[in-house]
Amino acid sequence: MFQHDRLSNEITLFQKIKNLDYILLISVILLSALSVFVMYSTDGGEILFHTKNHFVKLAVFFPLMIFVAFFNIKFWHNFSYIIYFIVILLLIYVSFFGLKSSGSQRWMDLYLFVLQPSELMKIAIIMCLAKYFHRIKIENVNSFTSITIVLSIIIIPIIFVIAQPDLGTSILIALSGLIILWLGGMKIKYFIYSFITFLISLPFIISFLKPYQKLRILTFLNPDRDPLGAGYQIIQSKIAIGSGGLNGKGFLKGTQSYLDFLPEKHTDFIFTLFSEEFGFIGSVGLLILYSIIIFRIVRIGAISRSNFARLFCFGYAFAIFIYIVVNLSMVLGLLPIVGSPLPIMSYGGSSMLATMIGFGIVLSAKINHKQMIA
């Protein structure tokens, strides 16, 4: 009996490969391929710096995802706190020794590539909180101690990320953390109260914002305030998307991006270029692809035996959803401009690394969905 149990726990490599979630895998591959083509378009229809690097990163991080998937979900459960603390240490490190670029200090040079620890925190915080809520008794969720602990887990990294300064990432980290709190069973009234408190304190928060952040909010409220300055990005982005129409202008034919009217087209505004060239149909197609990915992750969570895997998958699915929503709302002019990449599509190694690790853990949860964690 014991032996049998051991055997059933130790799955062979062949079984692991067989148990991978192929719908999720194919969706990720499709998204990756699409992202290379779009990157090729941002380079003006040539294989230049961004296309090459993006491809190389995919070629490294995609196998990494499979590698992550082959570790037992129990392993990831066991190391969740440690990973969280390592990322916290990295955040502390960059806040002292990090690379500076355009007024913020968020990167560390790893020779081969430049790492942004705050991106990793997006995953680490989900892992850490999933483990916490996995272990805690449901009766104790709303105890003062536990609330203090989980809030500390969320607030500590956010302090470092805001200090960098990086408002966009810190909001995403906070939302990723809060969703686990919600899923873990924290009382609904706490969410309502804190939301009301947040609304009331909003004016005070705004008064603490940096001038450029205030400007972004003002610009969001009225982009025509300064069409060539602060409002330029959002106006040009809306023009690009709007002019795409139903079918788009065609691959490599997006005039807004081709003629350099789009700022940040490789990173945060990648969707704008995509939408200009592939139109409404392409954009909805991309949303459907993302929806499939999110749905598969949710489904894997739903079939998982352990609450850690379940919480992680649900939390991660929500995080992906939030990244997409924040990014799209920003380029569509529904939210102020906060730096937030579109998963996989945007150029940026750290974001892709974190996303791929996340997918890896989800796949690990799928392979080991029958795994119980004590």
Partner 1 sequence: MLKSNSGIRKTDVINRRMFIIGAAKVVIFVGIVARLFSLQINENKKYLTLSDKNRIREWKLPPTRGNIVDYFGNIIAGNLKVYQLHIIPEQVENFNYLLVRLKNLLNLSDKRIARINKLKAELKPWDSIIVSENLTWGQFVKINNYLYDLVGVKPVMTISRNYPFNDVYTHVLGYVSQPNEQEILENETIQERFVPGMKIGKLGLEKRLENHLIGTNAIQRYEVNAYGKRINQLEHQKGKQGSKIRLTVDTEIQKACGELLNEKAGSISVMDIYTGDIIAMYSSPSYNPNLFLFGISQEEWQLIRNNPLKPLINKTLSGLYSPGSTIKPIVALSALENKVIDTKFKVKCTGKMELYGQTFHCWKEKGHGWVSLKNAMKQSCDTYFYEVARLLGVDRLNITAEKFGLGKKVLGDIFDIEKKGLFPNTKWKKNNLGKGWVLGETLITGIGQGYVQTTPLQLCMMTAQIANGGFVVKPKIIVDSNPISYEDAKQSMESGLLFDTDSEELLDKKLFINQKNIKIVQEAMFASTNERFGTSYKSRIDDPKYQFAGKTGTAQVKRISKRERELDLELEQIPYKDRDHALYVAYGPYVNPRYALSIIVEHGGSGSKAAAPIAKKLFKLIIDRHDLRNKQSNFERITV
**Cα–Cα distance, 108 to 85 (Å, whole number):** 17
Residue 298 binds partner 1 (CB under 8 A) = yes
Instruction: Give the C-alpha distances (Å, rounded to integers) separating 100 from 49, 95, 106.
Output: 21, 10, 7
Residue 287 binds partner 1 (CB under 8 A) = yes
Cβ atoms of 155 and 173 closer than 8 Å? no
Of residues 87 and 240, the one with the C-beta less far from partner 1? 240
Of 53-61, 107-115, 118-126, 307-315, which segment contacts partner 1 by CB under 8 A?
A: 307-315
Residue 328 binds partner 1 (CB under 8 A) = yes
Of 34-42, 207-215, 296-304, 356-364, which segment contacts partner 1 by CB under 8 A?
A: 296-304
Q: Of these, 117, 168, 184, 349, which contacts partner 1 (CB under 8 A)?
A: 184
Q: Of these, 283, 346, 351, 364, which contacts partner 1 (CB under 8 A)?
A: 283
Return the sign of the alpha-carbon dihedral for residues 4, 10, 15, 19: positive
- The contacts of residue 71 (CB under 8 Å, 6+ apart) are 364
Residue 46 binds partner 1 (CB under 8 A) = no
Residue 244 binds partner 1 (CB under 8 A) = yes
Of residues 44 and 63, the one with the C-beta less far from partner 1? 44
**How crowded is residue 201: how many other Cβ atoms within 10 Å of its Cβ?**
10
What 3-state DSSP class applies to 114?
A: strand
Q: Of these, 279, 341, 348, 358, which contacts partner 1 (CB under 8 A)?
A: 279
3-state secondary structure 238-280: HHHHHHHCCCCCCCCCCHHHHCCCCCCCCCCCHHHHHHHHHHH
Residue 139 binds partner 1 (CB under 8 A) = yes
Residue among 353, 350, 351, 360 at smallest CA distance from 313: 360
Which residues form the interface with partner 1 (CB under 8 A)?
A: 133, 137-139, 179, 182-185, 236, 238-246, 255-256, 259-261, 275, 279-280, 283-284, 287, 291, 294, 298, 301-302, 307, 310-311, 314, 318, 321, 325, 328-329, 332, 334
